Amino acid sequence: MNYAGFSANEMLARKMLADLRVKRQLIVIGNGFDLACGLKSSYADFFGGRLQAADSIGDCEEEWRKALDENHLTTWDFILRLGIGGPDWCNLEKVIGDWVLPAATDGGQDEASISDQLLGILDLPVFQDVPSFMEDNLFDSYLGTDSELRLRDVARCVWHRAGYKAGQGMERSRLLDFLLAELRVVEDQFKRYLIGQSDNAAGYLNEAVNLLEDMAWDDLSRSEVEEEYDKTRTSVLSFNYTTPFIYSNRVIEEENVVNIHGRLDNEIVFGVDGKECMSDLDALPFTKTYRVASMGVKMGNPLYDTVAGDIGWSKTMTIKFFGHSLGEADYSYFQSIFDGVNLYGGSTKLVFYFRPWPGKDEEELHAETVRSVTKLLTTYGATLDNRDHGKNLMHKLLLEGRLEVKRLKKRVW
């Protein structure tokens, strides 16, 4: 729009009026987005070979040194090898939390954690006969088959990675410092792996842009998109580390995309939701909040429009989700967004997409998505000041047509 001939105040008023006419939508994507575009970025793709390498190590110290060096294995690989959590990225975050965060007790937070119990085995002769680590059954509900042998292997890895017998006399703070350093090694290894995958994945960039367009213009014809294009501002909150959209301005400008946990051309982070443990100085560096703040993630433009107070409607008309597990480690982000748009009292619509892939049919995926959405909104509802509002949040959204779980269709134009 040409503002020539207008005073400064008139120009500002006209710009504000034009901005009010712009519809905003926020698209939230997770690893399922990259998988749908052909990228081998799953938990199993990355950790599968590493865990097999850990399984194949013999029983002597020299074999351990060689295997750890050649395969770049860390203590976290052996913690994951204990067989808990499950083969998904959101379960990795749960495992990290189990090992570094204070344990929840009836009386609140207790300093005791699984990591504290690990301290008790670091002094054991881990390259001699297997001692009994579990006389008090501390790990019975946590570990699987061959738990004592595998727990011993965690201790063995600590010995080698921290320096031979360095585990002896460790305090909790020192062990957590070590585990954080090990986590950064895993992050660096995954970054290198993902760079190689994205460089070699044929058609990945084009598939990603097409998938984003499918979401951005869902249910619109070509003529409707052309009519709405200049009236709609799309933002993307990506929980991935890849940046396929910066190479195309067909859908979105780079300043409207935020990779909240880092990008492959910089630092990336794994972590846990820090909402309940911000006062634990030892565990704090493992939280996503702390890591993101220390990285200094830059926002080009605000991702969504916020409202002032409890009354008012956000200009962010729709929030769309695809490929995100909706795991608890990211609940704090979603709570902030839902609070910001005044989800209960406003007009913002939530759309959760899914798309079948080999091995997963539509009915199964639909049911899984509904369960995840229900858990997310139930948990969010419990944070509302008015408990009755929290209990009927999903009913209200459904009655107002502001909640939808649907299969994402491919555009036919």
pLDDT digits (tens, 9 = 90+) for 194-214: 999 988 888 899 999 999 999
Whole-angstrom distance, CA of residue 97 vs CA of residue 101? 5
Give the model's pLDDT for residue 10. Answer: 59
The residues near 45 (Cβ < 8 Å, ≥ 6 apart) are 197
pLDDT tens figures, 56-88: 888 777 888 889 999 999 999 998 887 765 667
Q: Hey, is 54 helix, strand or coil? A: helix
Give the model's pLDDT for residue 135. Answer: 44
Q: Is it the case that residue 128 has pLDDT exceeding 70? A: no
Sheet architecture: strand order including 349-354 = 257-259, 232-238, 23-29, 316-322, 349-354, 403-407
Q: How far is CA 339 from the centre of its chain?
A: 19
Q: How far is CA 303 from the centre of its chain?
A: 17
State residue 49 phi and psi, 5-degree precision.
-65, -35
Angle (CA) 189 191 196, round 5°: 100
pLDDT tens figures, 383-392: 998 888 888 9
Closest CA to 318 of 227, 221, 210, 397: 397
What is the mean predicted confidence (pLDDT) over 373-381?
95
What is the mean predicted confidence (pLDDT) over 153-164?
80
Q: Is it the case that residue 220 has pLDDT exceeding 90? A: no
Q: How confident is the model at residue 168 (pLDDT cuts 50, 70, 90)?
A: low
What Å distances lie between residue 215 and 31, 273, 304, CA to CA? 16, 27, 17
Whole-angstrom distance, CA of residue 34 vs CA of residue 207? 9
pLDDT tens figures, 254-292: 888 999 999 999 999 998 876 766 667 777 888 888 888
Give the model's pLDDT for residue 134. Answer: 43
The packing angle between helices 362-381 and 331-340, to 10°, is 70
What is the mean predicted confidence (pLDDT) over 339-360?
89
